[in-house]
Structure 1
């Protein structure tokens, strides 16, 4: 006698989508806060949205409630929370409203949308250890926390403190935007597990991020984002110099049990 297939309860199906919509809530709230001049609070909302985005896919896997609808919803929300919201936040906080700086907002959003569209066509729903192009949450989070970092003594002690921060921001927005639509491979977020080195490192980084969220948010998140970007670029250069195969030609799984290691959470 064949066993009847068990379907998840409707409440469980809505749970990961609830986190995705919470990400949207924080993205919209960040835009509203930035328009009112509350730029520090706007940065917090982008960070909170990032944590919701990190959790929705993992909850979907844990509850076996992943679906094409959830994948599409996640990408649409990411376009707002990590494309439009960080770009508008920087426009309200730093860029000149009287000139053509709004073009940078368009460029950043356009690249985020194209990056997400390419992800949906090529990789959505598949296990992956590398992303083609800079994930949009990483780009948006790095951009949004630049304002935080610029207000810290650590920023003022660096050599870039003498540069006009409006100029730095323009280069930062263009660089992050182009990296999102590039073919540079960026490491995905491994599955939390102590059975592999990658999984254990993921746990350490996640716990460190939670610690920094409470004690050193302004000094931690922007440098961490820049470090992630530089890591992807340096690894790509080393592969080219050493003529190593592209990670996209290798098996995606980082662990032996074949679970999906990363989803559009860091798209």
Structure 2
């Protein structure tokens, strides 16, 4: 049974049937979502062959496709529930399974039991995406609840890039026990994905507000880093983003626990009101309807 045509009103007041959206506009966002899946699968294949440089590159390409599919869907007004569910399923593979397997083939393959870290990271990515669909999908907000799965996945995938740079090999950074540290990095990223830590979204680019200008500078700086210093840029920048969310949440939590002037003033007012409250309550309990003043409903000032 076909759906009835939706009609709209023209400028002359005559109802006309609305033109259906072109199929290209509807299929284009899903095409970018499937491109994200393609890059995720290709990253797994490249990692299994030992080409970790290409694997990291495909994860980054997948993140770019994941960003474009949402923007194109909003621009063409072709978003759908099918597209949302497809996007979540693809993200679970491209930013959950693929980065975990890259870490397994690149770092953990020599042992038998460290694959459990890959399972934990993937499970947290899947739970994070499921919670996002339930709590935040379709709502307008300025922050993510929990670390976004693309950021967590790219953090793991681009570690190999960073490990091949002089900044890593020729400094004390390379002397750190990364084989042991990466276990905790995977556990930490997984826990952050399912946590209540607030992570800021990319600000909207405009030149009318301070946040818009900061968003423009952030986008320009990101493009410069991606084009000219991709291997040195991604992993440190993503780790800074991860630590930023933790630091911001801890700082705001400490501010909430510090008593402010309002709380002190309220406590002082409560102390002043204590001797007056019993009399006020007795007057309210026994109202005299015969002798009611014109302004009896007003509160008396504390003098």
TM-score (norm 1): 0.87
Alignment-derived partner of residue 134 in structure 1: 147
After TM superposition, give the deviation of residue 158 of structure 1 in Å.
4.5
> Equivalents in 1 of 2:199, 2:120: separation in Å?
21
Alignment-derived partner of residue 3 in structure 2: none
Moved more, 79-88 or 152-161: 152-161
Whose relative contact order is higher, 1 or 2, with alpha carbons under 8 Å and at least 6 apart?
1
Q: Deviations over 1:83-129 (max 9, x none)?
A: 00000001001113432110011000000000000000111111121
> Equivalents in 2 of 1:204, 1:21: separation in Å?
30
Alignment-derived partner of residue 50 in structure 1: 63
Alignment-derived partner of residue 85 in structure 2: 72
> Equivalents in 2 of 1:58, 1:115: separation in Å?
21
> Equivalents in 1 of 2:182, 2:253: separation in Å?
29
Alignment-derived partner of residue 147 in structure 1: 160
> Equivalents in 2 of 1:103, 1:129: separation in Å?
34
> Equivalents in 2 of 1:208, 1:69: separation in Å?
34
Aligned residues: 244
Alignment-derived partner of residue 229 in structure 1: 242
Q: Deviations over 1:50-74 (max 9, x none)?
A: 1111111111111111111111111
Alignment-derived partner of residue 197 in structure 2: 184
Q: Deviations over 1:124-177 (max 9, x none)?
A: 111121111000000001111011111111123544322222112111111101
> Equivalents in 2 of 1:242, 1:35: separation in Å?
48
Alignment-derived partner of residue 76 in structure 2: 63
Alignment-derived partner of residue 28 in structure 2: 15
> Equivalents in 2 of 1:57, 1:195: separation in Å?
24
Moved more, 52-61 or 93-102: 93-102
- 8 Å contact 1:27–1:80 — kept in the other structure? yes
Alignment-derived partner of residue 207 in structure 2: 194
After TM superposition, give the deviation of residue 79 of structure 1 in Å.
0.3
Q: Deviations over 1:160-199 (max 9, x none)?
A: 3222221121111111011000010110123333333333
Alignment-derived partner of residue 204 in structure 1: 217
> Equivalents in 2 of 1:160, 1:216: separation in Å?
18
The runs of 4+ residues in structure 1 deviating greater than 4 Å are none
Alignment-derived partner of residue 280 in structure 2: none
Where do 5+ consecutive residues of structure 1 fail to align? 245-267
Could you say what the CA RMSD is over the residues aligned between the two structures, in angstroms? 1.6
Where do 5+ consecutive residues of structure 2 fail to align? 1-13, 258-303
For the pair 1:95 / 2:108, whether they are aligned, the reply is: yes
> Equivalents in 2 of 1:178, 1:212: separation in Å?
28
Q: Which has the larger radius of gyration?
A: 2
Q: Deviations over 1:206-262 (max 9, x none)?
A: 233222222111100001101111111111011111118xxxxxxxxxxxxxxxxxx
Moved more, 192-201 or 31-40: 192-201
> Equivalents in 1 of 2:92, 2:22: separation in Å?
29
